[in-house]
């Protein structure tokens, strides 16, 4: 039986916009490149190294670290902006409910990931499984 629908529509799965601080003319990011999350700044990624988990895939090429890059994100279903009190979770942290309607840093990784922290507003963007 022939395989049908071998090309997945772009709207399937979670797509995000990130920045790749290492992108340049000498180190371009090409369509289809596999990337990993970076903790250097919010919504940033780096080219995946040997043995890294497949976390993101580039949807188009970029050669400038300030150029937004569309990516497919794997292992997450959505991104939510959530409040926190007290110590801000760090980029890359997992979070859990704090029992007061917000989140706090999780003791162990749980599949969630902090993508952006706004300390002044007391908000974090969290990718959720």
What pTM did the predictor assign? 0.84
Residues 65 and 91 in one domain: no
Of all helices (H) and strands (E), which one includes residue 95?
Answer: strand 95-97
Instruction: Assign 3-class secondary structure to 54-91.
Output: CCEEECCCECCCCCCEEEEECCCCEEEEEEECCCCCCC
Residues 1 and 61 in one domain: yes
Q: In whole angstroms, what is the distance from residue 43 CA to residue 41 CA?
A: 6
At 19-38, the pLDDT tens digits run 999 999 999 999 999 999 99
At 46-72, the pLDDT tens digits run 999 999 999 999 999 999 999 999 999
Residues 92 and 49 in one domain: no
Question: Residue 7 — pLDDT band, cuts 50, 70, 90?
Answer: low
Domain count, the chain: 2
Question: Residue 70: which domain range?
Answer: 1-74
Residues in the chain: 129
């Amino acid at each position: 039986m022939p395989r049908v629908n071998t090309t997945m529509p772009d709207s399937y799965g979670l797509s995000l916009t990130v920045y790749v601080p290492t992108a340049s003319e000498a180190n371009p990011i090409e369509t289809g490149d596999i990337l990993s999350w970076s903790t250097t700044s919010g919504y940033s990624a780096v080219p995946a190294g040997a043995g890294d988990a497949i976390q993101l895939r580039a949807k188009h090429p970029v050669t400038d670290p300030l150029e937004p890059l569309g990516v497919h994100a794997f292992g997450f279903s959505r991104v939510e902006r959530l409040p926190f009190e007290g110590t801000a979770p760090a980029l890359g942290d997992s979070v859990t409910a704090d029992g007061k309607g917000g989140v706090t840093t999780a003791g162990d990784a749980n599949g969630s990931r902090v993508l952006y922290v706004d300390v002044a507003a007391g908000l974090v963007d969290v990718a959720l499984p």
